[in-house]
Amino acid sequence: MEANSKQHVHAVFESIAPKYDLMNDLLSFRRHKAWRKFTMKKMNVQPGQTALDICCGTCDWTIALAKASGTGAITGLDFSQNMLDIGMDKIKGEKLDNQIKLVQGNAMELPFEDNSFDYVTIGFGLRNVPNYLQVLKEMERVVKPGGSVVCLELSKPGWQPFKAVYYLYFEQILPLLGKLVAKRFQEYKWLPDSLKQFLDMKQLSELFRKAELKQVSAYPLFGGVAALHIGKKEKKQQ
């Protein structure tokens, strides 16, 4: 992705931040909360465990991780300060500001030491980064040996006629909803374009393996509209 494209992505998310949560409901057919609940069940976060949530947006998943851990330090990272500001308001409302730290930063160059977190997560953000593999490698780098890299993302259903209806929604209806609800037609026209360029479930599983992640599991959600991928960082041999 060229520099001007990166700037465009940044501008999109800065501008849609106030309506981001509402538009996420529309983007996922109001299923994103159920998908995240399923993901948290699969992750089975234990009390005191730590997590980094990258591309954390307005911090819904960051907050869920903090509640699951109870006492573990949770970090959220995003490149949009407007998103982080909305997220911090939510965090303070939940009285979790002593547990959660927010960082404005780049998912391609995570500002953290190797082997720092029990979990590293990314929710609905991977398709918006310039280099998917680079981000997964960075996630693998900062997760602890034996820890998990977790990606919840929109995917590509393979079953017709559902596939045709799905693309009609994303290419024609969603941008109009963006114009009506968020007053942002062009920004929501860009989102389906990012989805078209993204990987299907099998391709993303292979990319997890290229990032040196092991025991890769993939779960299709809502007919393949979304997918959950989980990979483990290999423990060093003694």
More confident residue, 20 or 38: 38
Mean pLDDT to the nearest integer, 28-57: 93
**Residue % of the chain over a pLDDT of 90:** 63
Q: Tell me the average pLDDT across 31-41.
A: 93
Q: Write down the pLDDT at residue 185.
A: 54
Answer yes or no: is pLDDT of 4 > 50.
no
Band (pLDDT 50/70/90 cuts) for residue 106 is very high
Query: Higher confidence at residue 143 or residue 174?
Result: 143
Using only the alpha carbons of the chain, give its radius of gyration: 17
Phi, psi of 13 (to 5 degrees): -75, -30
Whether pLDDT at 3 is above 50 = no
CA–CA distance, 50 with 233 (Å, rounded to integer)? 15
pLDDT band (50, 70, 90) for residue 84: very high
| Contacts for 132 with CB less than 8 Å, ≥ 6 apart | 126, 199, 204, 207
> How much is the pLDDT for 209?
98
Per-residue pLDDT, 31: 83
pLDDT at 195 over 80: no
How far apart are alpha carbons 171 and 47 in whole angstroms? 42
**165 close to 236: Cβ distance less than 8 angstroms:** no
Average pLDDT of the segment spanning 121-131: 93
What pTM does this model have? 0.86
- For the cut 80, the answer to whether the pLDDT of residue 30 exceeds it is no
Residue 191: the pLDDT is: 67
pLDDT computed for residue 85 by the predictor: 96
Average per-residue pLDDT for the chain? 87
pLDDT (tens digit per residue) in 218-234: 999 988 888 999 999 99
CA angle in degrees (0–180, nearest 5) for 54-212-75: 20
